[in-house]
Structure 1
Amino acid sequence: MKRKNCTMLFAAALIASGVTGTQAQDRPQPLPTVAEAHGVFADNSKNSVESIKNAVTAGDWAVPVEVIGCETAGCDGARTPSVYTPLPVSEISGKWNICAVLPHVKDPYWVGQDAGLVDEAKRTGVTLQVFEAGGYTEISKQLNQISNCVASGANAVLVGAVSSDALNPVIEEIAAQGIVVIDYVNGVSSPAVAGRALFEHCTLGGYMGKHLKETGEPVKAVWFPGPAGVSSLETMIRCFKEQAEGGDVEVLGVSYGDTGKDAQLNLIENALSAYPEMNYILGSAVTADAATGPLNERGLTSKVKTASYYFTPEVYAGLENGSITCASAGNDRILSRIAMDMAIRVLEKKPFHGSSYIGMAANVICGKGAGEKNDNLSTLIKELNLPPEGFRPVFSVN
């Protein structure tokens, strides 16, 4: 979808939902994109691992991003590289209360997101409260948590959604009350959000498809994306297929299920029996880690490779020891800090950086299991992909 059409649809949806005022019409125009700041460049080919590490861990941090030229989650807008920098503390005048609702903190990915929220709350001095729903089936619980955020005095709510559609009524209700809502990581379909800082499933799936095509090796893969009916996961697989097209890459099947380890083990065992020709397992971090046992037991470690569409410490360890082949690096742990900065910008009536929709530039990282030619594990920016070592979830700050 072209930017003009996407913008017109967005405006029409806002009018239809009754969400206007400071949420849309009165917002200042976004700032222009930035080619360089704090020693890092929008063009990632000019950056070193060390320069990005120094920039993202600095007090006034900076990070390469993609400014996305459309407004709906997962839309097909232009992606313009830029360097994102947060609002300086000296420009934050309000005593803001920010609430974040997360799907869960059962795995390192969301623990890492919580760490970023905590870091940004400490940097800015805002009051932070965090709720976790306990899993992607807990729609009612997350709806109640959003209502509890508002009841406890939140000026803004960062929504790490358990569903792309089911939360829309409450999002639109609180947005109409003047509460700033930022769509965070997973993506919701409501147009009532003030901004989006999202995990780009299409980018991650597409980069993996492109990588496997470019290896030139025949790939017969089965996907293990996670629960059925999640639109972002369907988008990821679609983008994988689009980017793999023209290569010797075939998707034999898709096995849906809970991302708990036991559930993934069962799915893997069934797929190994159903698809004896399978030579690549593609899925969640839990899938890639869980596959190690069955592949060892069946003597298939040299035949069947594995890849995850995101990073965890277990995936990193597997890449190091060769039990996992590759993983998509979303470089997105900092989305929590970007989402909070976006909320503060709206509250302070400051312009967004580049756009109301920010995503991250992704890449594929492989370990020694991919062979010496493809082993680029040393280039992973751990600070953007892994939780801080020893960090445990924190649910309130300041």
Structure 2
Amino acid sequence: MKNTIYAVCISLIMTLCVQPSALLIAGEINVNSYYGEYDTTQKKKGFPSASLKGPVTETWRTPTPKKAYHIGVLFPHLKDSYWITANYGIISHAKKLGVNVTLHEAGAYINFGNQRAQLLGLAKKKNIDGIILASVDYSSMDRFVKAVVHSGIPVIALINDILAPDIQAKCLLSFYRVGYKVGEFVSQDSGGKDVKICFFAGPKRAGWSSEMYEGFKAAIFKLKKPDQKITFPEPSYGDTRPRVQQLRLSFLLSNPKNYQTDYIICNAVAAAEAVDYLRRHRANHPKAKIVSTYITIDIYEHLKQGSIIAAPDLKTISQCSVALDMMVRLLNGEQPGKDFPFNISPIIPMVTKENISQYSYEDLFGKKDFVPVVHTFKY
């Protein structure tokens, strides 16, 4: 998707107005659920709070809204296919539910000020019933979430974890566990041989990137064979703009100390760039394999070609649809943690070049002709 589509605006505003279906066909998703009271003093980054009971594996079903609620949604950006897929998840499910959505994007993970202003701005709108927040930062948004919730507007976290003692509910994965799953795959794929690994995490201030790295590192060293040597330099952090990731790849992989790398573990933007890097520098890394820490449209195509060997499916569309469902249930009068889970995580599979044929494009990313809207739009 060309960046020029988004150049006209930092703040995407998208309003969906649809009539509730008379008879809603409930979608069913298998999820891991956590119930109880959310206590941040028992919260460890990368994990649900220990105050919550779970996980309980159960089937999530779509509710019916009592009215056509208007829900605000905040994304970090729409610069890569991951967030475009999330955009599709929100739009398509809002249409099915019959709720209205206004969506803003901050422009980048570094644009904390934009997202803060968008959060507070949405809260001031008289027609907004609740806000779904994919935060650009783990803890800096806490006091602003508190202000919005105390003003009477509930806030639910989506995709990116947030500390926020006042957050009403969460629909997101433990990125530590996602990283651990990637580490399990690499450990098994290595067959116990000595390996050199380079890790390109993503934005340092975004909770998901450091959590994935910590989970991956834990798995790699826990599962290593007694006589297996693992060379693992410090991870490379950086915003997920392609040019930034190109520079990170070049800086780390062109260092002679890192020649002969066996596994390049990357955020999806870096993984796609790493394919091109290896085409030009394969002599320095003749055995290198690329693993993405999540799947996007670009990664899907590379998996089919075999240039990337694996990536977990983070169930992005499911996360977005469940987050909307959670907000509907909350606005319907149900209590998070009691009537429905406080924290929900879809169950994720590992997609590999060997099993990629089992996953259709539409199931992973939605309709191929979908284009994010950059102006007011009504169904």
TM-score, scaled relative to structure 1? 0.78
Q: Does 1:132 align with 2:105?
A: yes
Change (3 A) 1:69 1:124: closer
Q: Which residue of structure 2 aligns with residue 64 of structure 1? A: 30
Long gaps (5+) in structure 2: 1-23
Give, in whole Å, the separation in 1 of the partners of 2:149 and 2:276.
47
Q: Does 1:184 align with 2:170?
A: no
Could you tell me whether the CA contact under 8 Å between 1:111 and 1:387 is conserved in 2? no
Could you tell me whether the CA contact under 8 Å between 1:204 and 1:363 is conserved in 2? no
Q: Does 1:326 align with 2:310?
A: yes
Give, in whole Å, the separation in 2 of the partners of 1:141 and 1:103.
9
Change (3 A) 1:387 1:136: farther
Letter of the structure 1 residue corresponding to residue 47 of structure 2: C
Question: What SS is found at the alignment partner of 2:202?
Answer: coil
Could you tell me whether the CA contact under 8 Å between 1:127 and 1:396 is conserved in 2? no
Long gaps (5+) in structure 1: 1-57, 368-374
Could you tell me whether the CA contact under 8 Å between 1:330 and 1:385 is conserved in 2? no
1:143-164 deviation per Cα after TM superposition (whole angstroms, max 9, x unaligned): 1111221222211000011111
Q: Which residue of structure 1 aligns with residue 209 of structure 2? A: 233
1:106-147 deviation per Cα after TM superposition (whole angstroms, max 9, x unaligned): 111111111111122212222211111111111111111112
Letter of the structure 2 residue corresponding to residue 83 of structure 1: T
Q: 1:100 aligns with which of 64, 73, 76?
A: 73
Q: Which residue of structure 1 aligns with residue 266 of structure 2? A: 283
Q: Which residue of structure 2 aligns with residue 346 of structure 1? A: 330
The equivalences for 1:67-216 within 5 A come to: 67-68=33-34, 71=38, 72=43, 74-76=46-48, 78-87=54-63, 89=64, 92-153=65-126, 154-215=128-189, 216=191
Could you tell me whether the CA contact under 8 Å between 1:289 and 1:315 is conserved in 2? yes
Task: Name the Cα RMSD after superposition.
Answer: 2.1
Give, in whole Å, the separation in 1 of the partners of 2:169 and 2:150.
15
Give, in whole Å, the separation in 1 of the partners of 2:328 and 2:358.
32
Structure 1 range deviating more: 136-145 or 214-223: 214-223
TM-score, scaled relative to structure 2? 0.81
Give, in whole Å, the separation in 2 of the partners of 1:187 and 1:181.
13
CA shift, 1:384, in A, is 5.0
Change (3 A) 1:277 1:255: same
Q: Does 1:363 align with 2:357?
A: no
CA shift, 1:79, in A, is 2.2
Change (3 A) 1:169 1:351: closer
Give, in whole Å, the separation in 1 of the partners of 2:192 and 2:313.
22
Give, in whole Å, the separation in 1 of the partners of 2:47 and 2:252.
32
Question: What SS is found at the alignment partner of 2:183?
Answer: helix
Give, in whole Å, the separation in 1 of the partners of 2:206 and 2:185.
24
Give, in whole Å, the separation in 2 of the partners of 1:299 and 1:223.
18
The equivalences for 1:253-272 within 5 A come to: 253-272=234-253
Letter of the structure 1 residue corresponding to residue 29 of structure 2: V
Identity of aligned residues (%): 23
Give, in whole Å, the separation in 2 of the partners of 1:190 and 1:381.
36
